Amino acid sequence: MRISSYLAVALLEASAALAAPSLEATRVEARTSKHASKRPHHPVAPKHCGRPFPSSPDRKKVCYVNSHGHGKDDSDYILKAIKDCNNGGHVVFSEDTKYTIGTALDLTFLKHIDLDIQGTIQFTNDTDYWQANAFKQIFQNATTFFQLGGTDVNVYGGGTIDGNGQVWYDLYAKDIYTLRPILFGTIGLHGGVISDLKLRYSPQYYNFVANSTDVVFSNIDIAGASVSTNIAKNTDGWDTYRSSNIVIQNSNINNGDDCVSFKPNSTQIVVQNLVCNGSHGISVGSLGQYIGQVDIVKDIYVYNISMSNASDGARIKVWPGISSALSGDLQGGGGSGAVSNITYDTMSIANVDYAIEITQCYGQKNLTLCNQFPSNLTISDVSMRNFKGVTSTKFDPIVGYLVCSSPTVCSNINLENIDIVSPSGTNLYTCGSIEGIENEVNCTTVNKGGN
């Protein structure tokens, strides 16, 4: 193996490598490709989950990741540097260097480590390899290029992670069962800050956060679109699953599906100061898709969101008590659980189809049937307040959709200070089976539920 001759593992004194250098020194270092970034500070603000985050001690060692170049798989170098610097070190992916990953990396063993991504990491476009080897995450056939987990991990550096998505967008258009990897898998991470990164061209979701606690995402820039006629589908910004005490803040998202989506068992989550463009909104769900499963989403605070060119602003989507099929790879209904204590506070919208959408009839277009089989998943204590802006022409004169499957399974849904109009100036909502909703917004039709 030639690994050791290629890999420069620099052991530096913590004081020399990580202490704040003088301004002059910073400038000089920035010109050379090998330097460790100072760990950024991203305070959680202005809202909090109500639970403190663990502290992260300084790192005492630096490891630089070498690269083979020419698009050759750098996984060997990456794994070596991470293993060398695990338990208290700082791994640097150098500026002006392009790293290629062509091997599924299981990074769930991380402990007290910083990954400083200054350069670009790109995943190979070997779709056969990735479909066979990407990590299966069980939920909705999700797979990830890598899985990052463990305890106390910080990722930053201002660099780019590129999923090389075009080949996947084109393949998916031919076969909806193509297993498109998620770009960034945060799986079983307990304590960490992931910040200052550009995420590009994900084959599917950009982030999947599962089995994780106490993780902050801050200053993440998401973009990437298809250049062919096959659009980049299911490119959610973040999906959270079986996770709690998660913050997603101060980020820019340009994508083609949910900006952020709270999947089953997402609790104590704050999402704030996001600019979302081209998405499907900030969504709870979909939930209740699988019979026999209990889905819980609670204690969510969504604050200060700018939403444009989207299908939805705030959305809660729950399947009814009877199953139905949307398409071959998306079908369900009949699952149980609860959505509770959800707040959407301060959202400005522009060119959004529905400013607010609450549905307990997801996947079931026949509302009579939906009312006949009320959802086994209750929705309660929902507050939506301080919304403003203009919707798109799509459903004009309607600006929102508020339909439960029965008033008995939806309670305490409050809309307050909602200043949303359609391009023609109306402010009408489709309402159904939500007690008292007609006192909060102007409903076109009021379906009280039942038969």
Binding to ligand NAG in span 229-248, by CB under 6 A? 242
Measured in degrees and rounded to the nearest 5, phi and psi for residue 207 equal -135, 135
In Å, what is the CA distance from 356 to each residue of 52, 242, 415? 31, 25, 10
Is 42 among the catalytic positions?
no
Q: How far apart are CA 431 and CA 428, in angstroms?
A: 9
Which parts of 160-179 interact with ligand NAG (CB under 6 A)?
167, 177
Which CB, 86 or 343, lies closer to ligand NAG? 343
Q: Binding residue for ligand NAG (CB under 6 A) from 75, 230, 341, 411?
A: 341
User: Smaller CB distance to ligand NAG: residue 157 or 185?
Assistant: 185
399 Cβ contact partners less than 8 Å away, ≥ 6 residues apart: 354, 355, 356, 391, 420, 421, 422, 426, 427, 428, 429
Contact 415, 441 (CB under 8 A): yes
With binding defined as CB under 6 A, does residue 309 bind ligand NAG? yes
Question: Phi and psi of 369, rounded to 5°?
Answer: -65, -40
Name which of residues 26 to 55 contact ligand NAG (CB under 6 A). Answer: 46, 49-50
* DSSP annotation string for 380-435: EEEEEEEEEEEE-STTTTEEEEEE-S-GGGEEEEEEEEEEEE-TTS--EEEEES-T
Judged by CB under 6 A, the residue of 4, 31, 138, 174 near ligand NAG is 138
Looking at 88-96, 150-158, 293-301, 389-397, which segment touches ligand NAG (CB under 6 A)? Answer: 293-301
Q: Least separation, in Å, of the C-beta of 333 and ligand NAG? A: 9
- By CB under 6 A, residue 137 contacts ligand NAG: yes
Beta carbon nearer to ligand NAG, 64 or 373? 373
With respect to ligand NAG, which residue has the nearer C-beta, 7 or 275?
275
Residue 69 sits in the site that holds ligand NAG (CB under 6 A): no
The rounded Cα 268 to chain-centroid distance in angstroms is 15
From residue 429 to residue 448, the character string flagging contacts with ligand NAG as x (rule: CB under 6 A) and all else as - is -----------xxx------
Q: Where are the alpha helices (DSSP H) in 164-207?
A: 166-174
Q: Which is nearer to ligand NAG, 118 or 213 (CB)?
A: 213
Binding piece for ligand NAG, criterion CB under 6 A, among 3-11, 26-34, 77-85, 265-273: 265-273
Q: Percentages helix, strand, coil for the chain, rounded to the nearest 5? A: 15, 50, 40
Residue from 71, 228, 416, 448 binding ligand NAG (CB under 6 A): 71
Site membership for ligand NAG, residue 417 (CB under 6 A): no
Q: What are phi and psi of 17, to 5 degrees?
A: -85, -35
State how far the alpha carbon of 347 is from the alpha carbons of 74, 84, 97, 148, 263, in Å.
Answer: 42, 45, 39, 32, 21
End-to-end alpha carbon distance in the chain: 73
Using CB under 6 A as the binding rule, whether residue 277 contacts ligand NAG is answered as yes
DSSP 57: P
**182 binds ligand NAG, rule: CB under 6 A:** no
Residue reference for tokens 């599917």: 204
Question: Which DSSP state fits 437?
Answer: G
Query: Site residues (CB under 6 A) for ligand NAG?
Result: 46, 49-50, 71, 125, 137-141, 167, 177, 187, 210-211, 242, 254, 264-265, 268, 273, 275, 277-278, 294, 296, 299, 301, 304, 306, 308-309, 321, 329, 334, 336, 341, 350-351, 366, 368-369, 373-374, 376, 427, 440-442
Residues with catalytic roles: 280
